[in-house]
């Protein structure tokens, strides 16, 4: 980004990025905020916003050194955007003098920042003069060091005293593009050959997932349009096999995928079994994504719109043999893919989401036949949404048995994994999995 002509003036991208950062601070998801940006700016703003969110803790710490009091939200967002992009010096995505000049230009052209243009100019010119000393003065601030809110850092330290540093480091890395092979249409070795023939480097990782050396457009993936392959993280690919292991040979099963949108796990279930699958999603708009994904795969499910916590609104009274509950959560395990999440969430969200997870678990458990199995999973690393949730459930449901499973998956960025072909490195998001079985009467 340091060289080449910009198709859109940088000051416009900075203003739009600041608007996205401010929206997340106000409780709007980063995805929704970016989607509201004009199309000609969207790709550039997403790249800038992701960089900012991965460096926002340091930027906020530097802002406190440069400003005696908090500036108005629009000006503060623009200042933090500039500092997040500039603080690493030679590793900054733009030349620092260009970035400062364009930030000031952005302030002058912004209706809500015009009055603070001189203030921003003074802060950033001082930062250019004193960068090394200012950065050093924030090195002992854990929020600046780890680029996460302090409550988040403390929660991970308490929940994962041995692994919290690894988790935070992984959260600030770039997530790879990971593929799931549709075994109905191709084999792992065959698809690796197809990728190689297309000039796309890839390696096998845990569970037979494929990690690309570099992300590519899905249109460039051989067989994507006809459903030979899907994009899905390696950790998320564990859900369907875990649920079906030991059940698939029993013949026709009645399977429920609760909270199913956008349909990745529904598709994986249908790739692995001929049994019918009910895909449940509370958001009618998001059910469209399920239909679209299944159509590409050439598969079909019974897609219902309904609340997993209130089965009376959609359940037909027939018990399920297998239930997959990928419950709503803080998404603390997939921060490398959604770096806004750490700044979007509040500590109080954990208890609220844990209560929702509890309601879903208890409601869906009643729909499971004796001897049936349920996979409860979340893309969270917080114990309250994982092992803590399940232990509480087991205490109050004596007909539930916890079968061996993976538990909390700590995010991995290139660590060697046992059982992976050719001892390839693992690379997956943070997840929690529990496999539950209902006792026979």
d(CA 365, CA 409): 24
Q: Give DSSP secondary structure letters for 149-181.
A: -HHHHHHHHHH-TTTHHHHHHHHTSPPPPEEEE
Tokens describing residue 326? 């990928």
d(CA 254, CA 36): 40
Distance between first and last Cα of the chain: 64
Tokens describing residue 306? 């309904």
Helices (H), 330-408: 341-344, 348-365, 387-396
Q: 3-state DSSP call for residue 74? A: helix
H/E element holding 66?
helix 56-66
Q: What sign does the dihedral 354-36-25-382 (CA atoms) show?
A: positive
30 near 340, Cβ under 8 Å? yes
350 near 151, Cβ under 8 Å? no
Which of 80, 123, 259, 379 is an active site residue?
379
Q: In Å, how far are 210, 263, 308, 343 from 225, measured between CA atoms?
A: 18, 16, 31, 35
The yes-or-no answer on residue 377 being catalytic is no
Q: Give the closest residue to 410 by CA, choosing from 174, 243, 145, 170.
A: 170
Q: Give the closest residue to 113 by CA, choosing from 171, 71, 176, 59.
A: 71
C-beta neighbour count of 201 within 10 angstroms: 11
Q: In Å, how far are 85, 86, 342 from 328, measured between CA atoms?
A: 32, 35, 16
Q: Give the closest residue to 394 by CA, choosing from 434, 431, 338, 340.
A: 434
| Residues facing residue 303 across a β-bridge | 279
Catalytic positions, written as ranges? 379
């Amino acid at each position: 980004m340091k060289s080449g002509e910009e198709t859109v003036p940088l000051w416009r991208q900075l203003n739009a990025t600041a608007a996205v950062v401010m929206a997340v601070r106000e409780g709007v998801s980063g995805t929704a905020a970016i989607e509201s940006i004009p199309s000609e700016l969207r790709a550039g703003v997403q790249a800038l916003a992701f960089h900012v969110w991965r460096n926002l803790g340091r930027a906020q710490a530097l802002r406190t050194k440069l400003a005696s009091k908090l500036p108005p939200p629009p000006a503060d967002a623009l200042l933090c955007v500039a500092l997040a992009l500039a603080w690493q010096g030679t590793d900054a995505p733009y030349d620092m003098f260009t970035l400062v000049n364009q930030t000031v230009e952005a302030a002058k052209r912004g209706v809500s920042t015009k009055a603070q243009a001189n203030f921003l100019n003074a802060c950033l010119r001082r930062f250019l003069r004193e960068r090394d000393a200012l950065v050093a003065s924030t090195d002992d601030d854990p929020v600046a060091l780890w680029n996460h809110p302090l409550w988040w850092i403390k929660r991970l330290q308490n929940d994962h005293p041995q692994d919290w540093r690894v988790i935070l480091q992984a959260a600030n890395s770039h997530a790879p593009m990971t593929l799931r092979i549709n075994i109905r249409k191709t084999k792992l070795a065959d698809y690796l050959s197809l990728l190689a023939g297309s000039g796309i480097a890839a390696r096998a990782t845990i569970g037979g997932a494929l990690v690309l050396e570099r992300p590519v457009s899905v249109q460039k993936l051989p067989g994507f349009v006809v459903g030979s392959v899907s994009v899905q993280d390696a950790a998320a690919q564990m859900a369907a096999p875990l649920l079906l292991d030991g059940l698939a040979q029993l013949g026709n099963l009645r399977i429920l995928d609760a909270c199913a949108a956008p349909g990745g796990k529904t598709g994986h279930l249908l790739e692995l079994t001929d049994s019918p699958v009910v895909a449940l999603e509370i958001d009618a708009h998001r059910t469209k994504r399920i239909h679209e994904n299944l159509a590409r795969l050439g598969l079909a499910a019974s897609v219902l719109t309904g609340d997993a916590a209130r089965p009376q609104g959609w359940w037909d009274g027939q018990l399920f043999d297998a239930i997959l509950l990928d419950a709503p959560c803080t998404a603390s395990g997939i921060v490398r893919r959604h770096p806004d999440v750490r700044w979007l969430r509040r500590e109080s969200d954990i208890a609220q989401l844990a209560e929702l997870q509890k309601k879903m678990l208890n409601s869906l458990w009643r729909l499971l036949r004796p001897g049936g199995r349920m996979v409860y999973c979340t893309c969270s690393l917080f114990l309250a949404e994982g092992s803590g949730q399940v232990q509480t459930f087991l205490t109050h449901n004596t007909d539930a048995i916890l079968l061996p499973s993976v538990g909390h998956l700590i995010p991995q960025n290139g660590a060697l994994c046992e059982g992976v072909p050719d001892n390839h490195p693992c690379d997956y998001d943070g997840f929690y999995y529990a496999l539950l079985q209902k006792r026979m009467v």
